[in-house]
Structure 1
Amino acid sequence: MPDTPKLSEVEIVKDASNYLRGSIVESLGNRITGALNHDDTHLIKFHGSYQQTDRDLDSERKRQKLEPLFSFMIRVRVPGGAATPAQWQRMDELSDTYGNGTIKLTTRQAFQLHGVLKRDLKNTIQGFNDVLLDSIAGCGDVNRNVMAPANPHESAVHRQVYEAAVAISTHLTPRTTAYWELWLNGEQHSTTEPADEEPIYGKTYLPRKFKIALAIPPYNETDIFANDIGLIAVEKNGELLGYNVAVGGGLGMTFGLPETYPRLADLIGFVAADKVVDLCEKVVTIQRDWGNRENRKLSRLKYTIDRVGLPAFQAELNQRLGYDLAPARPYRFESSTDAFGWSGDAAGLSHLTLFIEGGRIHNLPGYALKTALAEIAAFHTGEFRLTGNQNLVLANIEPAHRSRIQAVLEAHGVWPATLRLTALRQNALACVALNTCSQAFAEAERYLPQLLDKLDAVIRAHGLAEAGILIRMTGCPNGCARPYLGEIGLVGKAVGRYNLYLGANYAGERLNKLYREMLDEDGILRELTPLLADYAARRQPREGFGDFVIRQGYVQATTHGQNFHA
């Protein structure tokens, strides 16, 4: 008789949770501690929140015999990255009233609030739900925020792709009423009918998180190959025909476990535009049924596909769809970055893409970004569009408001100061890492700007200020800022120490490769300085830095996920 699979702890918690309720009500009512019951720390992720501590204060609080300073990060979904001025204003208000006074724009086009205390969770969640935002499925073993190109007003195809992202997000939102019961007193605004059953997910949801992104060639600013499902829009003469489908991407891994690795999604075919929502559902259900529920380190769709084989996965997908996917159509990606500055459209509206360092909306001396955006939100009639690179588009600006918006940004030191930055800095991504992320081994968001100050000197000395080099830093190997798609990737391994990865390409279609381990700042500069000098001297026309280091033999190309550690 075969052994019964030993389910992971989280699977047991989900099964006993009564569709994500658990004992969260009791946890919230316990005033003795700022923390939740242990099992509820797993369940609250499905409601869009992580329990965290201020790790900068842990040692001192322990010395004083105090429990850690517990607080909560809340991730607010923004499908396709589109937020209204009213929604921006509310997030700004909530960050001051209940958070740490800042807003984080994530690499998945979502908002994050940090530093929310347990007693303020309900008021905070009600606050953004009042303006038709929510955090259900912001985290947890479900489909997360669906990404799309940031400005749907760029063309009719952009609008259709954005609408597809919203439709996919709505269709794959959990149906449980627990979110509305716990946080909204039973009221709900979703267009999805809530229930105490999950027709797509089932009682225990997915084995692990699930991510979907859409892109329109030649731009891959959503890094679609890093997702469980990547959808590449195919158009002809301005008409959206459908999507090339890629499956099995995901960037997390664990140090010391070579059986874990980042993986880019495989292109498996083409689907018509009117069938894309159903296709996403079918892929999700295969992962629901076939995914590993014993070992969460091996539970993403990428491992499911490598375990059963891509042909077997495709055959199952075709069977569940009731038809075979058509062959993939030709396409070409050129970059995975944002284009900064002003642009216009045929309707006479303007759009301004702002660089947001680390995705952090805050005020600094001489750079009052948070104040400036709050002032703009009070009169702007367009949208605030979050990009997949942690930046912000002020979209659909009326002609009468263009000069006013620019004046506000200039008055607060925000614009055009960012235009004078190196392309290296403008393309940089960083996760939150220390001091709040429990997974972080090292700094990322707080440290990368300091490192870039020193790298910028090298860049400028070699005439590379305009060279679009992708640099990405994370505090751990989980990959939240997509470090393995950086032409320069820095992954924290200990406080002040990073592994250096090289060789991804500018369009987000190749993983990088480990080059050096456990480097401190001096080591990073020592290793990168001669490489950048060599690149400046011997690069070919339009050759990216990642392509250059492979051509020169500094690293070998990573051909697929299972080759990443080779």
Structure 2
Amino acid sequence: MVQTPIKTSKVEKLKERSNFLREPLLTELKQDTTHFSEDAIQILKFHGSYQQDNRDNRVKGQEKDYQMMLRTRSPGGFIPPELFLALDKLSIEYGNQTLRVTTRQGFQIHGILKKNLKEVIKNILSSMGSTLSACGDVNRNIMSPPPPFKNKPEYQYAFEYANNIADLLNPQSGAYYEIWLDGEKAISAQEAPEVVAARKSKGKGMIVENSPEPIYGEQFLPRKFKICVTVPGDNSIDVYTHDISLVVMTNKKGELQGFNVLAGGGLGRTHNKEETFARICDEIGYIDKADVYDLVKAIVATQRDYGDRFNRRHSRMKYLIHDWGVEKFKSTVQGYLGKELKPYKKLPKWEYQDFLGWYEQGDGKWFFGIGVENGRVKDEGAFQLKTALREIVEQLNLPMRLSGNHNIILCEIAPEHKETVENILKNRGIETDPEAIEPLTRYSMACPALPTCGLAVTESERALPGITDRIRSLLNKLGMVNEHFTIRMTGCPNGCARPYMAELGFVGSAPGKYQIWLGGTPNQTQLAQPYEQKMPVEDLETFFEPIFVFFMQNRKAKESFGSFCSRVGFAAIRNFSANYTIGSYMDTDTTKRKFRKNQRRVSVPDEVFPQLKEIAQKEGRPMNQIIADALSDYFTKSKEA
């Protein structure tokens, strides 16, 4: 039986009286207005859309430039050719002319007016797509590694189970089709029989009896819920950042045996709210393949019944596991499941791959990965990615897979069509050699932020290209021409581009200022930590120069930047920076850089450092100069005494 919390938030009450996600959205959709009410906006999210306004167009005293962002539900990032062509056309006719690949392997269309929203969703549904539960307090788009390997069964299993679990956890009330298709069910792939059977499986309290929503109930989940299915060693989907991560386990013959299970990841947080924090998954155990659907339902039921429904900042499952501890969480899940989990199985080291360039699928065909800077699919000057993709899909009828690093993989390419794909891309100004892409750009991500995201406090997508250019120039200046690392940027602390797993994370903290996170790893297996609270973007070079110099002078062989920052610790980095003079290096040889060493360094306590830095910024003087002046003044007074 589902427990009823004593206190619930306003959003919980709204969900409860929405008639399973119908009202007030259905009523307001029929009204001749430019935007929805706050109540309708909350319900609209479950249908895959956020109401936004273009903040570049705000004029005091005038109504906001309201528009809708629409997001696709695309498990494993699969986009059939019909859907891409429809999205391309819809973005031109009703959107802002662009598409955006999300970091959860879906497409977003920005700029849709309220009056056109129903027509756009209807077209998506008629083109083998969906937006249902792409947003809202439900299971979001399920991720899996994007490469369509046909000769690696573990990849096929990951994609298959991502699809099946997405179907299992889809809302069932029918409200979505009533609103957007006037009650007609969209033509879609038939659900697997095991999924239909799993939805009816009751377990011990997993199901809400006599409800149109047997898994979710009338209040759905306390907050958004994220799942991935991957294969051992492949961390192209940030395995530690999800509410549930399943790892395909096969035998030596490549036959599926079961899944390793991790749970409790999540990156959203709020500045100056220490009770909110980024968290990575815990290892929970191993489940046989026959029980995996029931296990997923048991974990969802645990979050449904025990997640915080009063404080939405504390309502993600990561906080439930943090508060309870892994053992209590595991015991509760096993109670719903009716059986114990087996021990977690050993895995190989996780590695990140972006799968750019040409790869054989294993069935005689090829796939080709295209790097998409910050996921924005657009035509801009000589760079015409959107047109190139349209031409390729129209001519060759190719499906695509979207990656968790917002890139695009074109699939099912016959050998005789490889040249056609290359020529179209080159003719439209698209780089086809992944090694020619600037590495800082290749391994970077940014959220959209301004001007459309209502949560953004500063720029992200529009700022990151300039940031990476400046960092590259600084690295080159310091003789570090071959150095690169993962950079991720968000315009607010919610973490949509997963900056807390990056080697260098920028998190918007005020207009033109960023919290700096250091210490993630290239394979995204370790949380970064906050190093600086509000770095003005104009100070980027002077801020990072001493950090990069310290890294260059003290790194171990083949040590990554993030691993270095984690190993030496922030106190050591701050002490070096405090005693470093900007530009204090000598280029004595065109092939070798030497730096003047500070023969005698003076360290300051951590609690003094923020005060010292504040004074330095206020007076426009280097911190080491302030220390020198203070000591000089002290020695003078000592002599006089």
Q: Which residue of 2 aligns with 1:365?
A: 381
Q: Which residue of 2 aligns with 1:56?
A: 56
Q: Deviations over 1:174-196 (max 9, x none)?
A: 00111001101211135468997
**467 and 392 in structure 1: CA distance in 2 versus 1, 3 angstrom threshold:** farther
Task: Establish whether residue 175 from structure 1 lines up as the match of residue 143 from structure 2.
Answer: no
Q: Which residue of 1 aligns with 2:98?
A: 102
Q: Which residue of 1 aligns with 2:637?
A: none
Q: 2:444 aligns with which of 428, 434, 437?
A: 428
Q: Which residue of 1 aligns with 2:425?
A: 409
Letter in 2 for 1:124: V
Contact 2:46/2:134, CA 8 A, preserved across alignment: yes
Name the SS of the counterpart of 2:419 in structure 1.
Answer: helix
Name the SS of the counterpart of 2:158 in structure 1.
Answer: helix
1:555 to partner: Cα distance = 6.3
Name the SS of the counterpart of 2:149 in structure 1.
Answer: helix
Q: Which residue of 2 aligns with 1:543?
A: 559
Q: Which residue of 2 aligns with 1:35?
A: 35
Q: Could you tell me how far apart the structure 2 residues matched to 1:75 and 1:460 are?
A: 39
Q: Could you tell me how far apart the structure 2 residues matched to 1:379 and 1:334 are?
A: 37
Q: Could you tell me how far apart the structure 2 residues matched to 1:146 and 1:548 are?
A: 33
Q: Deviations over 1:122-141 (max 9, x none)?
A: 00001110112111101000
Contact 1:503/1:555, CA 8 A, preserved across alignment: no
Q: Which residue of 2 aligns with 1:564?
A: none
Q: 2:393 aligns with which of 352, 361, 377?
A: 377
Letter in 2 for 1:143: N
Q: 2:222 aligns with which of 207, 210, 228?
A: 207
Q: 1:265 aligns with which of 281, 299, 311?
A: 281
**35 and 322 in structure 1: CA distance in 2 versus 1, 3 angstrom threshold:** same
Letter in 1 for 2:169: L
1:337 to partner: Cα distance = 4.1
Task: Establish whether residue 234 from structure 1 lines up as the match of residue 235 from structure 2.
Answer: no
Q: Which residue of 2 aligns with 1:198?
A: 213
Contact 2:148/2:361, CA 8 A, preserved across alignment: no
Q: Which residue of 2 aligns with 1:156?
A: 153
Provide structure 1 residue ranges, at least 5 long, that are not aligned to the other structure.
558-566
Q: Could you tell me how far apart the structure 1 residues matched to 2:265 and 2:423 are?
A: 42
Question: Greater CA deviation, 462-471 or 389-398?
Answer: 462-471
Letter in 2 for 1:110: G
Task: Establish whether residue 470 from structure 1 lines up as the match of residue 471 from structure 2.
Answer: no
Considering only CA atoms, is the larger Rg found in Structure 1 or Structure 2?
Answer: 2
Question: Greater CA deviation, 362-371 or 414-423?
Answer: 414-423
**196 and 73 in structure 1: CA distance in 2 versus 1, 3 angstrom threshold:** farther
Q: 1:224 aligns with which of 217, 220, 239?
A: 239
Provide structure 2 residue ranges, at least 5 long, that are not aligned to the other structure.
200-209, 574-641
Contact 2:149/2:362, CA 8 A, preserved across alignment: no
TM superposition score normalised by structure 2: 0.83
Question: Greater CA deviation, 308-317 or 523-532?
Answer: 523-532
Task: Establish whether residue 16 from structure 1 lines up as the match of residue 21 from structure 2.
Answer: no
Q: Which residue of 2 aligns with 1:166?
A: 163
Q: How does 1:109-124 map to 2 (within 5 A)?
A: 109-124=105-120
1:468 to partner: Cα distance = 5.0
1:241 to partner: Cα distance = 2.5
Q: Could you tell me how far apart the structure 2 residues matched to 1:480 and 1:465 are?
A: 30
**465 and 204 in structure 1: CA distance in 2 versus 1, 3 angstrom threshold:** farther
Contact 2:375/2:406, CA 8 A, preserved across alignment: yes
| Count of aligned pairs between the two proteins | 550
Q: Which residue of 2 aligns with 1:188?
A: 185
Q: Which residue of 1 aligns with 2:528?
A: 512
Q: Could you tell me how far apart the structure 1 residues matched to 2:552 and 2:364 are?
A: 40
Letter in 2 for 1:223: D
Q: Deviations over 1:155-180 (max 9, x none)?
A: 12101110000000000000011100
1:516 to partner: Cα distance = 1.1
Contact 1:486/1:502, CA 8 A, preserved across alignment: yes
Contact 1:175/1:196, CA 8 A, preserved across alignment: no
Q: Could you tell me how far apart the structure 2 residues matched to 1:355 and 1:250 are?
A: 26
Contact 1:422/1:466, CA 8 A, preserved across alignment: no
TM superposition score normalised by structure 1: 0.93
Task: Establish whether residue 322 from structure 1 lines up as the match of residue 338 from structure 2.
Answer: yes
Q: Could you tell me how far apart the structure 2 residues matched to 1:273 and 1:366 are?
A: 50
Name the SS of the counterpart of 2:550 in structure 1.
Answer: helix
Q: Could you tell me how far apart the structure 2 residues matched to 1:54 and 1:471 are?
A: 26
Q: Could you tell me how far apart the structure 1 residues matched to 2:278 and 2:503 are?
A: 15
Q: Could you tell me how far apart the structure 1 residues matched to 2:304 and 2:325 are?
A: 17
Contact 1:231/1:245, CA 8 A, preserved across alignment: yes
**324 and 463 in structure 1: CA distance in 2 versus 1, 3 angstrom threshold:** farther
Q: Which residue of 2 aligns with 1:502?
A: 518
Contact 2:139/2:226, CA 8 A, preserved across alignment: yes
Name the SS of the counterpart of 1:379 in structure 2.
Answer: helix
**415 and 275 in structure 1: CA distance in 2 versus 1, 3 angstrom threshold:** same
Question: Greater CA deviation, 229-238 or 310-319?
Answer: 229-238
Task: Establish whether residue 274 from structure 1 lines up as the match of residue 282 from structure 2.
Answer: no
Contact 2:357/2:434, CA 8 A, preserved across alignment: no
Contact 1:502/1:514, CA 8 A, preserved across alignment: yes
Q: Could you tell me how far apart the structure 2 residues matched to 1:399 and 1:420 are?
A: 23
Task: Establish whether residue 294 from structure 1 lines up as the match of residue 291 from structure 2.
Answer: no
1:335 to partner: Cα distance = 2.6
1:527 to partner: Cα distance = 2.4
Task: Establish whether residue 45 from structure 1 lines up as the match of residue 45 from structure 2.
Answer: yes
Q: Could you tell me how far apart the structure 2 residues matched to 1:536 and 1:520 are?
A: 24
